Amino acid sequence: MLEELKTFIAVVECKNFTKASEKINLSQPSVSIHIKNLEKFFGVELIIRSVKQKNIIITESGQLLYRRAKEMINLLEMTREEVVNLSSSVKGHLKIGATYTIGEYILPNFLQMFCEQYPEVEIEVVIGNTEEISRKVQGLQIDIGLIEGMGHMEEFRQTYFLKDELVLILPKTHELTQKNLSNDALQEQKWVTREIGSGLREYLDVFLTHHQIVPRSKLVFGSNYAIKEAVKNGLGIAMVSWYVAKDAVLRDEVKMLTLEETYYRNFSYILPKDLVTMKVIEVFAQTLESFYQSSSGDCLPL
């Protein structure tokens, strides 16, 4: 019906079947068929054709249909533009889950840019360890998870977006700051670390096992800030993210030493594997990747 109405409008405005067919790039027989279909649908004569004078007369019913057809086409075009504009804008509610290192040291800088670019997106951030965030993504309690951890998680769509280096932080007066650091020197030390289930704890346990390092003790805290404060106050040494260490070192709160071998890990985002994601989630994920791939300065290279 839409094409028939467009054809009818062209015939009325051109006052000629041949000119109308050229205007809308349609054969003249097709134009005639469209007009006949409309007349059959409405049960009235819309156009009177004069064969001898080769002109047409628009009936009163035809004039009414012309006005209504113009209104309908205009309304359809306006609606199309509104729908396109609506679908091209990014808005909605986004619930993000982030592990402590990402949530406390990485995400705020990114969100400043993202919120300026997409001001109509409402954001809620949930902080937890890798195990907790993964469980919430799987249970659809959050839209996207930003995690730190080892290996690929087969049950999710997982994409790496940023590389992190793990370093050692010590109290400023610790004896190891006066030595050439080796893995053997780390024997019988007091370690400050995160709880089981966190990405940082996973890396530390693998590191200690691989190098057969036996801690004198482990002091467990539930946040990076607490770990930094514990080291600052002489409670032990800790393996932490470079992003955590750099701020504490700049404030002269702790000493930072690079381990004998360089240890990197990847931060990644995870999404439910077999679920179609909303546009706002896809835009967030794509912007996150682009932001850190193009970043410079204090960000470690990918």
Report the C-alpha gap between 229 and 159 in whole angstroms: 32
> What's the pLDDT score for residue 234?
93
Max CA distance (Å), the chain:
111
Establish if 81 belongs to a structural domain: yes
Would you say residue 100 has pLDDT above 60?
yes
What would the pLDDT profile of 113-137 be if each residue is shown by its tens digit? 999 999 989 999 999 998 899 999 9
* Boundary (domain end) residue, out of 25, 55, 88: 88
**Structural domain of 226:** 165-264
Residue 20 Ramachandran class (φ > 0 left, ψ -120 to 50 alpha, else beta):
alpha
Report the C-alpha gap between 72 and 222 in whole angstroms: 62
Q: Quick one: 154 and 223 in the same domain?
A: no
Pairing label, strands 263-272, 156-170: antiparallel
What residue ranges in the chain does DSSP mark as E strands?
Answer: 47-50, 55-58, 92-98, 121-127, 144-148, 156-170, 190-193, 217-220, 238-241, 255-257, 263-272
Cα distances from 254 to residues 14, 184, 187, 193, 233, in angstroms, run: 83, 21, 20, 15, 9
By the 10 Å C-beta count (0-12 exposed, 13-18 middle, 19+ buried), 75 is classed as: exposed
Establish if 45 belongs to a structural domain: yes
Q: How many structural domains comprise the chain?
A: 3
Would you say residue 227 has pLDDT above 60?
yes
Q: Burial letters for 257-282: b for 16+ Cβ neighbours within 10 Å, e otherwise?
A: bebeeebebbbbbbbbeeeeeeebbe
Q: Quick one: 191 and 76 in the same domain?
A: no
User: Domain holding 181: CATH number?
Assistant: 3.40.190.10
pTM of the model: 0.63
What would the pLDDT profile of 26-80 be if each residue is shown by its tens digit? 888 888 898 898 889 989 888 888 766 567 888 899 899 988 888 888 788 777 7
User: Domain holding 70: CATH number?
Assistant: 1.10.10.10
